[in-house]
Amino acid sequence: MQTVLVSSSLVSQTSPRKVMKATGAKGMNILNNNEEIAGQTVFHTHVHLAPRYEETDGLQISFETHEPDFPALAQLAEKDYSSLRRD
């Protein structure tokens, strides 16, 4: 599992640069949608590379910011997640 994560991380760092160089894009969004509520329509793991050319290129991604619930995050940090490991 760790090898897959490292490989995915390396691909997500190098592939966008290559696409940007080949297409002349000024930036890149790297997107992954998990489950239907998040926009996933093909139910296997994949990543979308969306080259960005101008602020008005038609792709709009926005997030509403919220102040984190720090006490709840602290409780999550203390939780034992060892049962989630796949060895």
Stretch 23-33: mean pLDDT, rounded?
90
pTM for this prediction: 0.57
Helical (H) or strand (E) element with 23: helix 2-23
Q: How confident is the prediction for the chain on average, in pLDDT?
A: 82
Nearest to 46 by CA among 18, 2, 8, 6: 8
pLDDT digits (tens, 9 = 90+) for 32-64: 888 899 888 888 888 888 899 998 888 888 888
pLDDT at 5 over 80: no
Calpha distance 72→49 (Å, rounded): 33
Highest mean pLDDT: which of 9-13, 15-19, 67-71? Answer: 67-71
